[in-house]
Amino acid sequence: MIDQPLSWFRPEINNMQGYQPGEWPDLNANILKLNSNENPYPPSPQVLAALSEVSAELLRRYPDPKATDFCQVVGKTFGIPADWVIAGNGSDDLLTMLVRACAGSATTRSTAEKERMLAYPMPTYILYRTLAAIQPAKTVEIAYEMQGDNWSLPVEQLIAAQAALTLVATPNSPTGHCVPMADLRSLAAGLNGVLVIDEAYIDFAGEEAEQASLALVKAFENVIVLRTLSKGYGLAGLRLGFGIAQPPLLAGLQKVKDSYNVDAIALRLGAAAIADQPYKRAITQKVMAARQQLATDLQGLNFRVWPSFANFLLVQPPDGKAKLLCEKLKENQIMIRYFNQPGLDDKLRITVGTPAQNERMLLAIQAWL
Ligand SMILES: Cc1ncc(COP(=O)(O)O)c(C=O)c1O
């Protein structure tokens, strides 16, 4: 008898859907790309100056596996010790490390130990589900309660789940709302496992919000805050993010990360970007002003617009035909994001562009309506 041929992949991989990033058009195509929440403004001139100083010697050697200089700049900028910082190849890399280190079934797990699960409110960043499927680890997905325009975090249910890893994005994607600090504090206090506060969009939520979660990291050793240079700093192409947590939590992540997870160019350019906070503030404030204008203009076209603290808006077209509008805009060389998911399939996520870009999109929407 012939044996069944061995599958190339583990059953979990055969059965899962891969993460679907936003479509990536050619750089030279005249396409307005408002589907992946990139910053419409370029990175700081200091970043380009650092790029011009990249030497052959820097490239010949492996990068610093501990990202020492970068972590020092982050520590100094945010008022935390440098050994409370870990660098990642984008915050996606840090999420991968967290799932690898904390979640899933372990062969040496005693039967007394509970399944090491992931818990998160929905809707949120769908990569959490993808990473769980790869690990594999079970997930507990708990719906946000929508009260009017407010998304209310199911704090008690998340605490009751007692997952190994609880993930909360704030500002959240695709909703754009900020989770109240009091809710995060209750979670941190009530969870035995790790609380991940994913602040990819925090730079668009105001300076006070940027500081708030750092107080939680100081107060709770099970909390890690994730930040990225992809959004506020205009560096999505560089792939650099960082985590802030107390050293015992970072020690576990150091064990599972790729040795040289961040390349030498990213570390140099990232340090220059972080050091130039005035530039970041200037571009994020421009985006925040454009967000306000775009929200007003879309409301004027009878769209429902949820309040947003990020560089995108969650909106509902007047006829609810979100997919159709997304397709029509694409015919006009404008890309926005449609999610084929229950609860989201009548809505769209639109990245805030420059005022001129937003105007181009509004004109195309008006023409269609
Ligand atoms: C909530 C959230 N977290 C993390 C990320 C990943 O960011 P990075 O580019 O740093 O990997 C994204 C990207 O869109 C995001 O929306």
Show the 3-state SS of 251-283.
Answer: HHHHHHCCCCCCCHHHHHHHHHHHHCHHHHHHH
pLDDT tens for the 369 residues of the chain, in order: 566 788 999 999 999 999 988 888 888 788 999 999 999 999 999 999 999 999 999 999 999 999 999 999 999 999 999 999 999 999 999 999 999 999 997 655 555 567 899 999 999 999 999 999 999 999 999 999 988 899 999 999 999 999 999 999 999 999 999 999 999 999 999 999 999 999 999 999 998 999 999 999 999 999 999 999 999 999 999 999 999 999 999 999 999 999 999 999 999 999 999 999 999 999 999 999 999 999 999 999 999 999 999 999 999 999 999 999 999 999 999 999 999 999 999 999 999 999 999 999 999 999 988
Residue nearest to atom 12 of ligand 1 (CA): 200
**pLDDT value for 22:** 84
**pLDDT value for 20:** 87
For residue 312, how far is its CA from the centre of ligand 1 (angstroms)? 13
Question: Which of 34, 92, 199, 229 has most ligand 1 atoms within 8 Å of CB, for mutation?
Answer: 92
Cβ–Cβ < 8 Å for 213, 63? no
CB environment 226-239: b (16+ within 10 A), e (fewer): bbbbbbbbbbbebb
Q: Give CA–CA dist 219/229, Å, rounded.
A: 25
Q: Give CA–CA dist 250/181, Å, rounded.
A: 22
Residues 6+ away with beta carbon under 8 Å from 195 = 166, 168, 184, 187, 188, 220, 222, 223, 224
For residue 366, how far is its CA from the centre of ligand 1 (angstroms)? 31
Alpha helices in 34-126 (DSSP H): 45-52, 56-60, 68-78, 91-102
- Domains parsed from the chain with CATH numbers: 19-42+278-368 (3.90.1150.10), 45-275 (3.40.640.10)
User: Which atom of ligand 1 is found nearest the CA of 125?
Assistant: 1
* Per-residue tokens: 313: 């808006």
For residue 93, how far is its CA from the centre of ligand 1 (angstroms)? 10
CB environment 147-160: b (16+ within 10 A), e (fewer): eeeebebbbeebbe
- pTM of this prediction exceeds 0.85: yes
Residues 6+ away with beta carbon under 8 Å from 361 = 32, 34, 329, 334, 336, 350, 353
For residue 9, how far is its CA from the centre of ligand 1 (angstroms)? 27
Radius of gyration of the chain from its Cα atoms, rounded to whole angstroms: 21
**pLDDT value for 312:** 98
Q: 216 burial class (0-12, 13-18, 19+ CB within 10 angstroms)?
A: buried
